[in-house]
Amino acid sequence: MPLLLTAEPAEVVRMALAEALDLVDFGVVLLNPAMQPRFLNRHFVTMWALPDELLTPGTTFRQLLDHVGNNCAYQVSPADLAAYIDQREGAVRDGTVSPTVIDLTDGRRILFRCVIAGDGSRILTYVDITRQKQEQELQQQAHDAAERIGIELRFSNESLESQAAYLASLAEAADAAARRADEAKRRLEQEMTERQELEVQLRRMATIDALTGAMNRAQVLTLGQRELERVRTTGQDLAVVMLDIDHFKLINDRYGHPCGDEVLRNVVGQLSSCVRRIDLVGRLGGEEFAVILPAIPASTALRAAERLRTQVADTAITFGDATIRVTVSIGVAMARDTDRTIEQALARADGALYAAKGTGRNRVVSCDEVEAVA
């Protein structure tokens, strides 16, 4: 997966990626779960000649499809156009789209692909493969010419010398066609590689917190729900841990937000180094994090939480000339048979986190302790 090799703010990174996507020579669309465009790159707008009124917030994917259909771009009969657009919209909405070739009335051929991110976003790419179609036609023409020449040779009364010259020219044409075919194959492979790299980057944007590299809120909740359902089928336990950096606002006020960003990244690094490969670390927002621990009993989960607290407290963070030490308050809760969603367990862990904050910070409090006092 690609790595963010910069300490720039997430907004700067997102703007740079948007500008980069505007430079690629194929269309890119990012739809939100409500099937509304979050992003259209310049090539997509040009490819379909989108008017200004469709380049405003609130536009739907169906409106984009209708615009293309109303301008007779699809190679579909007028009687079948409405059903064709319904089918395309429904497939993207349901996530059943496999790589599809779209033939246009102006002779272009577009390779369309849809990828669904963990939060329900759709990533659409439109690659113009007309050149590959033309290369295939050239190869077919060369093949047809070779067949015609072969027939003519069988019935020709030309001299052996003329036939040899004719065969030499045929071989030269075949070599040229083979070279064009190899070049077309190379270009197609390069375009496919670039598209795959772009899809990885877009998928990372949809699931990873750009600042810290931890899972974002949507991804950790999605995978946490999956783990909750899995451990139920195996009869295992699952623990959820909520962490909050103590006095984080004071760090930002004293050292500035770049220092605060470095503290967030450092804490994520410490958390990741202390958990198992099967555990999930996510940033819920601000200075608050969640850790999902599947297949673990309550006593071990509390020891793991204490290890996280100690690791953060014992690690000095250097920013410029400053050496900073931070602590975290932690709440722990075990999943229960009555839980239908991972958010229910997280809510109990959040209550324990609130109790840890209220009793002095830099400590671990379990949900059971809070409920026993209540």
> φ, ψ for residue 149 (rounded to 5)?
-65, -40
Q: Tell me if 324 sits within 8 A of 251, measured CB to CB.
A: yes
Of 118, 102, 100, 98, nearest to 110 by C-alpha is 102
Is 288 known to be catalytic? Answer: no
CA distance 336 to 352: 16
CA distance 65 to 126: 13
What element of type H or E holds 366? strand 364-366
- What is the DSSP secondary-structure string of 262-301? HHHHHHHHHHHHHS-TT-EEEEEETTEEEEEEES--HHHH
Q: What is the C-alpha separation between 223 and 101, in angstroms, rounded?
A: 33
Residue type for 359, please? T
The answer to whether the CB of 64 falls within 8 A of the CB of 48 is yes
Q: Which residues of 64-99 are buried (b: 16+ CB within 10 A; e: fewer)?
A: bbbbbbeeebbebeeeeeeeebeebbeebbeeebee
Which of these is catalytic: 147, 287, 343, 369?
A: 287
Q: How many CB atoms lie within 10 A of CB 239?
A: 26
List the structure tokens of 238.
């699952």
CA dist list (Å): 366 to 240, 322, 353: 10, 34, 8
Neighbouring CB atoms inside 10 A of 135's CB total 20
Catalytic residues: 287
